[in-house]
Structure 1
Amino acid sequence: MKNLVSLFHKRIGMPNNETITFEKLAEVLEKTAQSIPFENLNIFEGKIQTITKENLMKKIVERNEGGLCYELNPFFYFYLLENGFNAVLTDGVVYNHAAEEYHQLGRTHVTILISHEEQTYLIDTGFGGNLPLKPVPLSGEIISSYNGEFRIKKVNHQYGNYCLEMKLKHKDRDWKIGYAFDSRKSIEDAAKLNEIQTIISEHPKSSFNKHPLLTRLTKNGNITLTDTTFTKWADGIISKEAINTEKYKGLAKQHFGL
């Protein structure tokens, strides 16, 4: 198997011999968010594969595709392990703001927890345009990045013992819930990841099996492409364009390399 770290650094534009310390993770997370799209094209193209380290490497750093949370965060988890970090994967339940309740699909969000100097942090590379871009401590300390403010709140309910809260820059005035997760439970093997992939790709209430979706952060905002619209956020200014199938294909190639 080719070296995961060197291939990943090539993909995101990091020097191959860069030593990745805890302090360096913010830079890695920013480059990852700007280089690797959150996208669901495999679901629509009938190319779903079993989640393994080897298959994730082929998808993300050999074919230069993106993925959803159950692909992007496990890949980054393997990257963290290879750089000597103490990391685990866990699952969570995303909050549905339109319905004002947690998603009925259940524990289908995959995220990462790392331990560093006797403190636990959440790391997420697979939450669409809602990425903190830095490790977020479970202590409740507010973390700021160019994408907004983020914090972890202690909770006690059926969905877990913590939740990620956020105020996205130029978008949110008040704190809003991202998802709840349980720091006491980790994903022990790939069977759970494949179970989540099946739910996301097949469940009637999944939002990811209805239309193509591609999004990634830019240096001053983010871009989102569906089969009918192309949306840009740049320095707080939003522009939205209606598109057809031909335009969609061109934009997918131009902005996402897909």
Structure 2
Amino acid sequence: MTDILTRYLKRIEHHRPANATEQELADLVTAQLTAIPFENLDPLCGVPVADLTPEALAKKMVDGKRGGFCYELNGLLRYVLGELGYEVVGLSGRVVWGDTSGAVPPRTHHVLQVTVPETGRTFLVDVGFGTHTLPAPILLENNAIQRTPHADYNLVGSDGRFTLNMQSSRGDKPMYYFDTEPTEAIDLQVGSWYASTFPGFPFVGAIVAGRVTPEAKWALGGASLVEYRPGKAVLRTELSSAAEVVRVLGETFAIDTDAIAGLTDHVAAVLG
């Protein structure tokens, strides 16, 4: 077992799977989502996310008790799944969640196509879409409603191009679309650099965090904290100060905020 894999399994409090099965894939996704949050604190603090090597990702999110965004979270999981015997391909997508402009969005979302050797079935895996990320792997097949602990999803597409939708009482809510052409490492690095440095991109100059567990989901946007629990009313809390935002990042999102230089000042600058 590699050193990174050993450290990773300790971080997510999970055993080494005996075999690369569908159940173990689902369990690993749940364990990573629970332990390692979505967060954009490096872009917020002016730190580009450029090094996507396994060791760099492990140093930040495993050893450093941090989270990351899609390139980091799915990049780390991609390495781990490959080490455990899964067939993993990195893909790229365009996010349309909440976008009504009709413009073509940049290709800046990284997801995984994972084939389980035991069954030969292929899944879409995504631990990097914040609070609304997939809570579990879903089969990479067209137009089947797939249930997860927090929401139902479906993929619509053909000829290797799919749109991921979240089901709601108002119908499908498109999240992003992607194709199944593998994305090269250099293209992932370019996308990560852009997403962490380009002025006006959602992760630059904003406060964003998300955490998903089997029991609940939390979202932080600026000073607004939202908690979702299946079957219960959504709980919304407005935080009163930069110090309180930093406290919540540590307590609710399990981020080691002490290790991030100048975090409170950067949060205060965003809140105004």
Give the superposition deviation at 1:210.
Answer: 2.6
Given the alignment of the two structures, is residue 152 of structure 1 paired with residue 155 of structure 2, yes or no? Answer: yes
Paired position in structure 2 for 1:134: 136
Give the superposition deviation at 1:16.
Answer: 4.3
Q: Aligned partners of 1:122 and 1:257: how far apart in 2?
A: 26
Q: Aligned partners of 2:103 and 2:95: how far apart in 1?
A: 6
Letter in 2 for 1:69: C
Any conservation in 1 of the 2:44–2:203 contact (CA below 8 Å)?
A: no
**RMSD between superposed Cα atoms in Å:** 2.2
Q: Aligned to 1:187, which of 183, 188, 191?
A: 183
Give the superposition deviation at 1:132.
Answer: 2.5
Higher strand share: 1
The sequence identity of aligned pairs, in percent, is 25
Give the superposition deviation at 1:84.
Answer: 0.5
Q: Aligned to 1:232, which of 220, 227, 230?
A: 227
Which 5+ residue runs of structure 2 have no aligned equivalent?
A: 256-272
Structure with more relative contact order (C-alpha pairs < 8 Å, separation 6 or more): 2
Paired position in structure 1 for 2:259: none
Paired position in structure 1 for 2:95: 94
Letter in 2 for 1:239: L
Letter in 2 for 1:7: R
Q: Aligned partners of 1:178 and 1:54: how far apart in 2?
A: 30
Q: Aligned partners of 1:101 and 1:111: how far apart in 2?
A: 22
For residues 31-77 of structure 1, what are the alpha-carbon distances to aligned partners after superposition, in whole Å with 9 as ceiling and x for unaligned?
Answer: 22121111000112233342211101111111121100011111111
Paired position in structure 2 for 1:38: 38
SS at match of 2:94: strand
Residues 1:134 and 1:219: Cα distance change in structure 2 (over 3 Å): closer
Give the superposition deviation at 1:252.
Answer: 1.1
| Within-5 A mapping of 1:100-249 | 101=102, 104=105, 106-116=106-116, 117-140=119-142, 141-155=144-158, 161-167=161-167, 172-183=169-180, 185-189=181-185, 191-235=186-230, 236-243=232-239, 244-249=241-246
SS at match of 1:101: coil
Residues 1:139 and 1:102: Cα distance change in structure 2 (over 3 Å): farther
Residues 1:162 and 1:102: Cα distance change in structure 2 (over 3 Å): farther
Give the superposition deviation at 1:19.
Answer: 4.3
| TM-score where L is the length of structure 2 | 0.83
Residues 1:217 and 1:26: Cα distance change in structure 2 (over 3 Å): same
Given the alignment of the two structures, is residue 250 of structure 1 paired with residue 247 of structure 2, yes or no? Answer: yes
Letter in 1 for 2:85: G
Q: Aligned partners of 1:195 and 1:179: how far apart in 2?
A: 19
Q: Aligned partners of 1:212 and 1:206: how far apart in 2?
A: 12
Q: Aligned partners of 1:227 and 1:2: how far apart in 2?
A: 38
Residues 1:133 and 1:226: Cα distance change in structure 2 (over 3 Å): closer
SS at match of 2:174: strand
| TM-score where L is the length of structure 1 | 0.87
Residues 1:69 and 1:172: Cα distance change in structure 2 (over 3 Å): farther
| Within-5 A mapping of 1:44-59 | 44-48=44-48, 49-59=50-60
